[in-house]
Amino acid sequence: MPTDLTIRTYDPAGHLGRHQALDPRSLAYRRPYDGQPLRPTAWEPRIPVLDQRNLLAQGILTSASYGLDTDVDALASCTGQAATALLSILLTPEQATGAGLHTSSAVAAQHFAIGLYADATAADRWLEHTWPTHDIGSSGLGVAKAMRARGLIDQYGHATTAEELCTLLQTGPVLLGLPWCSAFTDTTDPHGFIDADPDWATSPLEGGHEVCVTALEDVARVDGVLDPDHTVIRFRNSWSASWGDHGDGRMFLRTYLTLRDQADVIQPRLDSWSSS
């Protein structure tokens, strides 16, 4: 078991399953903000919005597909879900098909995400069990390692500040793992702002969650400095298109900064790809 990782675990549930795992070796190679202009960007997933919470209604029978004793209706597979949304952006349609990710089918993409979740639990060597034996959740670091082991990405980088997060979003989507408050789940904001409730920080902690950040919106500055109170990021969730803004959520950068001690930002990168 690795001893140099910083680990924070949460109780997994059918809609939450991310643990925080920080690797100081890879964090040391994060891309610092060098003062470059930060512009609004958007990266749109090429798969339907996934739903990890209502598997049976989608015709996904985990007993037959994964050897479980009974079918489950939800999995703590958010890391695999978020990574699948990211890969649908990162890979061309031909590359995605070659990797087994069929972007036109929500069911096929869901199976791909579940398989990636299984690989992530194995990559998280500090976990005692793996899925499908136990639905114990995984980490953003674990799913990044799983993607690299499959040859789907070449490397991954990190961010630890708001400026670094915005810098990464200039070149592509990122995975964001964060502690999830009950106010985030219960949001009824039509634009999907999970921090619309000004008292969200005092709502109960439900667990850990992983999402795919797909856009930097409304970049705001005060005296030339990034203003986290008015700069917005958008993310793709995995709770169906009925959640948030057609499956997407938003938050202010101030919220990320508030949660930063329990958050992690990882950007998988692809410089070359081979179907072999």
State pLDDT tens for residues 20-78.
999 998 888 888 898 999 999 999 999 999 999 999 999 999 999 999 999 999 999 99
Backbone angles phi, psi at 223, to 5 degrees: 55, 40
pLDDT score of 188 more than 80: no
pLDDT score of 3 more than 70: no
pLDDT score of 273 more than 70: no
State mean pLDDT over 148-153.
Answer: 97
State mean pLDDT over 83-87.
Answer: 98
The DSSP call for residue 13 is B
At a CB cut-off of 8 Å and minimum separation 6, what does 54 contact? Answer: 73, 74, 240
**DSSP reduced 3-state for 80:** helix
Q: In DSSP terms, which residues pair with 139 in a beta bridge?
A: 19
Q: For all residues of the chain together, what is the average pLDDT? A: 94
